[in-house]
Amino acid sequence: MVRLALNALQGVESSLISIEQLSSAFCSEPADRTFHKIPSLWHRLSSTDALGQILRDIGCFGSLVFLLHKFVDHFTRLNLDVESAVEGQGSCKIGENEEVNNKSCYTLVNQAFAIAVRRVLEGYISGLDTLCASIELRRSSNIVDGSDHGSSRLGSLTNVVHPKITLLEVFLHTRELRTQIEALANICDLYDIALSYCASPWECLITEATTRFHGFYRGSDLLTYLYSQLQVRLSYVPHLVFVLFLFHEAHSYRLM
């Protein structure tokens, strides 16, 4: 289960589909509610429902990571398409040349922004890889026998199994990482799509996200949008630095 959750947190599509199926099964309510008269059974079913909710939250978040990767792929491919058009514009008319150049300018800004988004995702994956060490470091303060903690030197994403890590620990220790990615998804206008993770078919989420890509801000409009996001996050320094990085990376192409 821990391995499945870690794969889902990386945005692995097959794991996200499995997580959705498991969470739906765990969260399903039985028709007969008289079981609460049996304490042990009531406790077990309550725990099962809690497990389903954790899996649902992990799947919902993992779908954001998946869609953000799609976002990056969309805008980096778009730039390649425009470059091909610019290379072949020798036979175009003047008006057509201007249109292609304007489109190229818009795309360069979006490509720079998409690359910045990819760097944030790479940082997130690196942080996820330190999960084992983070959990064992927290536990070490309660251990006085000097036992070996060699497994903490191994990356979380390179281990086949994690017998010493629980699903709840994975969920709690990734909270800060998830907050950052959720803020990124909100900037990329994808956050609300993931809210339909268990309510809509997986293909519908991808279709909705693709539609959002085509309507996303371009060129100077994107810079204006990012600047407005800076103003909104002035009161929260971590997010301010985060958005400032995105704005700087996108603006760097505008100056070229």
- Domain with 196, as residue range(s), is 2-254
DSSP notation for 16-41: HHHHHHHHHHHHPPPS-GGGGGSHHH
More confident residue, 100 or 60: 60
pTM over 0.85: no
**Structural domains in the chain (count):** 1
Residue 242 has pLDDT above 60, yes or no: yes
Instruction: Work out the burial of residue 209: count CB atoms within 10 Å of its CB; fewer than 13 is exposed, 13-18 middle, 19 or more buried.
Output: buried
pLDDT score of 193: 92
Give me the chain's average pLDDT, please: 77
Q: Which of 239, 232, 122, 224 is nearest to 176 (CA)?
A: 239
Over the stretch 112-159, which tens digit does the pLDDT of each residue have?
999 999 999 999 999 998 888 887 777 776 555 555 555 555 666 766
Banded model confidence at residue 101, pLDDT cuts 50, 70, 90? very low
Helix (H) or strand (E) segment spanning residue 42: helix 39-87
Helix (H) or strand (E) segment spanning residue 205: helix 202-214
pLDDT score of 147: 53
Residue 35 has pLDDT above 50, yes or no: no
**What percent helix, strand, coil does the chain show, rounded to 5?**
75, 0, 25
Q: Are 7 and 15 in contact (CB under 8 A)?
A: yes
